[in-house]
Structure 1
């Protein structure tokens, strides 16, 4: 028994060594070079000139020499335990804006968020040794970190001074918190009439249920937003379903989806408000964005379905009740997505599969119910189709399946794991993933801004998140006229 226990302990130690958070070399294999792409991609297409023209104008590396659409704009951001405000701020930073992110003197608790609470999965500041979660650094990209105690009178005075020097404020504190401190839009509009103020909330800052969240839940947007709008209910396995759509177990998204949707909507709303102010002669205004409603806007046809016949759309998981096939299925080395949303694709899928698995053709193409597009979307037909498809896929890997399906011009593609995404030749070439060298945390792998691919004013990531309070001295000096000696005094008093 002791020998077995020693083996288990050594095995766990080996596993921990394999999970060492040191940055691995990237890429493991180099991306294709431009000459190879020209010869093997563009030259084989009729529209080769268009592909080459797009690359010449949109490549990521060219972005840093081009102007920025929001150059000269400045924003103030305030929020704890939330990603919506940081994602919104990051989007504005990538477009060229300057964002000052206010954290309490002890730091945003999200800095300490790390998988399984393991500090070894955090990045340590090269100079101070202070550790920070990778997720926080990624979502704080481009933003300045300033510490300020808003509960103190001096801290509030500094915040009000900063508010007068920005174009907009992103507020994701609990509803009414900033207003109770005299730092809300109602106070600022009297002295800063052109200020655009955006509040990101869970269910909203007004209405009968605005406060119906626990004391601690007020500080979180996810998962309460997704629970309140049925997004969480809508996800789950169809075999768990019962009549009227209320059976089985729901499943929330693995990421803080409501936060990100709300953050992007907030950035969009603020830009629209600024356009109305600057270009159309308007004035500053208050904007409210909620995670629940932002996510509800992308719930497919759930609301319309309920209004149509008063029933709840059944939980279908990854299946689509409109289409058969339109789903991932397990294969030998992972999962394969196949789309058969038209009769043409449907029968081509059948011809492809029955070439290796004749039983598919006999059981599928000879079934009269499956000959009609609408009828084949019934649950029993979906089960039959996917069961037989998986029977074919289980003996082949994703590359083989993709090659076979592409021969029949079928919409199909493998589901990639994150290591495969990072090493996928296409994503490395454009690139969708890239590295950035930071002064404090070393080299970090990150996803390139999807708004980068603009010809004139591409967005770009210039810096990742900074250490706590890294920009406090600079911001206090530049915007508040407070010198280093006074900043040190305020630091001693707990104001910053």
Structure 2
């Protein structure tokens, strides 16, 4: 069975994380993704190691499967002419150059729309194509700071903290993929493409979700709660006798059950703790009481009891524990692929589970320029032309 996006051709002029994460998802779904780099390979993540395997960094490998790789010198007139020829018959072009760069090269949306009115053209940038910050470079860490994430992450003791992965980049990649799919769907009715403008800054603000909503409704600037929740108690990390775990009590009935497990039924009847609102008001009182009770058993003991009672909980796994978890195996969230220089590479699997058009892992993350000749021939370039491009440093 072909993938859901089989027949969709994507010209991928992105590098680092947000763009490649987006195009990998499209490739996982069956799109033909052509990754374009400068001669020699210009995706910065190729050098973001160790660790390396087969000469490729783990960082690069994590977002570049299911793509074909070509190299083009976009600073040359000939290289830009090749992109135009490819864009003329592509469905999607996605790029994350600094705002204005593609327009300067004659490769902006308005330029390419003239040769392919059905092209869905996605631009990823730090701050978008309008506003006073549009020309500033955008990096995940900076955007986590400017976009509010670091103001709510960490605790009062630690001060501002970033999320442990590049969450603004990853959210941007997902929003870009959703927008591209929406534009492709709309094109089936109108026959027209459009410009999709996605920024890290917008994406970061969007995923503030309930915390931003809390501020907009109340006017109160949120505090850093560390491993606690601003709206629900108890919903945080606790210490058990032999380790730490998260217990997430989502409603008053679950709190009552938790108190029963601890043989502290009186707590759920105490008006200070009987409702979530009252527990929020008395957070500093109830949490130490619960913590003392939880120290009486180990993590696995509590897991069994809490699971039987229907109270959400879980251990705090490290990477080794995650990839030994039977649920990871059952959901195929760890995969291995053959690779020309590393023999086999282990990668995180796709979370996209479709019943009829399932994700397939058909292509290893490409070596720089691995498919240049193959792809250019498909777009109508003759072997003699390709050899001349190579001689002139265009590819």
Instruction: Identify the residue that residue 123 of structure 1 maps to in structure 2.
Output: 53
Instruction: Identify the residue that residue 256 of structure 1 maps to in structure 2.
Output: 166
Q: Distance in 2 between matches of 1:424 and 1:207?
A: 46
Q: Distance in 2 between matches of 1:190 and 1:284?
A: 11
Q: Distance in 1 between matches of 2:28 and 2:123?
A: 21
| DSSP 3-state at the match of 2:97 | coil
Tell which structure's C-alpha radius of gyration is larger.
Answer: 1
Instruction: Identify the residue that residue 324 of structure 2 maps to in structure 1.
Output: 423
Q: Does 1:98 align with 2:22?
A: no
Q: Does 1:89 align with 2:13?
A: no
Q: Of residues 223, 227, 230 in structure 1, which corresponds to 2:148?
A: 230
| DSSP 3-state at the match of 1:301 | helix
Deviation at 1:174, TM superposition (A): 0.8
Deviation at 1:269, TM superposition (A): 0.8
Contact 2:228 2:235 in 1 (8 A): yes
Instruction: Identify the residue that residue 377 of structure 1 maps to in structure 2.
Output: 280
Q: Does 1:472 align with 2:372?
A: yes
Q: Of residues 94, 110, 118 in structure 2, which corresponds to 1:194?
A: 118
Q: Of residues 349, 352, 356 in structure 2, which corresponds to 1:456?
A: 356
Deviation at 1:332, TM superposition (A): 4.5
| DSSP 3-state at the match of 1:139 | coil
Q: Of residues 334, 353, 357 in structure 2, which corresponds to 1:433?
A: 334
Change in Cα spacing, 1:462 to 1:328, as seen in structure 2 (3 Å) is farther
Q: Distance in 2 between matches of 1:469 and 1:277?
A: 31
Deviation at 1:317, TM superposition (A): 2.4
Deviation at 1:395, TM superposition (A): 5.2
Q: Does 1:442 align with 2:352?
A: no
Contact 1:102 1:148 in 2 (8 A): yes
Q: For residues 18-63 of structure 1, what are the alpha-carbon distances to aligned partners after superposition, in whole Å with 9 as ceiling and x for unaligned?
A: xxxxxxxxxxxxxxxxxxxxxxxxxxxxxxxxxxxxxxxxxxxxxx
Deviation at 1:427, TM superposition (A): 2.0
Stretches (4+) displaced over 6 A? none
Change in Cα spacing, 1:393 to 1:371, as seen in structure 2 (3 Å) is closer
Coordinate RMSD, CA, aligned: 2.1
Contact 1:438 1:464 in 2 (8 A): yes
| DSSP 3-state at the match of 1:159 | helix
Contact 1:339 1:345 in 2 (8 A): no
Q: Distance in 2 between matches of 1:91 and 1:365?
A: 46
Q: Distance in 2 between matches of 1:286 and 1:407?
A: 51
Deviation at 1:431, TM superposition (A): 2.3
Deviation at 1:461, TM superposition (A): 2.3
TM-score, scaled to structure 1? 0.75
Instruction: Identify the residue that residue 46 of structure 1 maps to in structure 2.
Output: none
TM-score, scaled to structure 2? 0.93
Contact 2:256 2:265 in 1 (8 A): no
| DSSP 3-state at the match of 1:420 | helix
Q: Distance in 1 between matches of 2:88 and 2:210?
A: 43
Contact 2:29 2:360 in 1 (8 A): yes
Instruction: Identify the residue that residue 14 of structure 2 maps to in structure 1.
Output: 79
Aligned runs of 1:42-53 on 2, under 5 Å?
none
Instruction: Identify the residue that residue 149 of structure 1 maps to in structure 2.
Output: 73
Contact 1:201 1:221 in 2 (8 A): no
Deviation at 1:368, TM superposition (A): 4.0
Q: Distance in 2 between matches of 1:333 and 1:86?
A: 41
Deviation at 1:365, TM superposition (A): 5.3
Aligned runs of 1:142-181 on 2, under 5 Å?
142-181=66-105
Change in Cα spacing, 1:447 to 1:333, as seen in structure 2 (3 Å) is farther
Q: Distance in 1 between matches of 2:369 and 2:289?
A: 58
Q: Distance in 1 between matches of 2:312 and 2:215?
A: 31
Q: For residues 225-270 of structure 1, what are the alpha-carbon distances to aligned partners after superposition, in whole Å with 9 as ceiling and x for unaligned?
A: 2222212212111x44xxxxxxx61111111111111111111111
Q: Distance in 1 between matches of 2:17 and 2:243?
A: 31
Instruction: Identify the residue that residue 180 of structure 2 maps to in structure 1.
Output: 270
Instruction: Identify the residue that residue 399 of structure 1 maps to in structure 2.
Output: 300
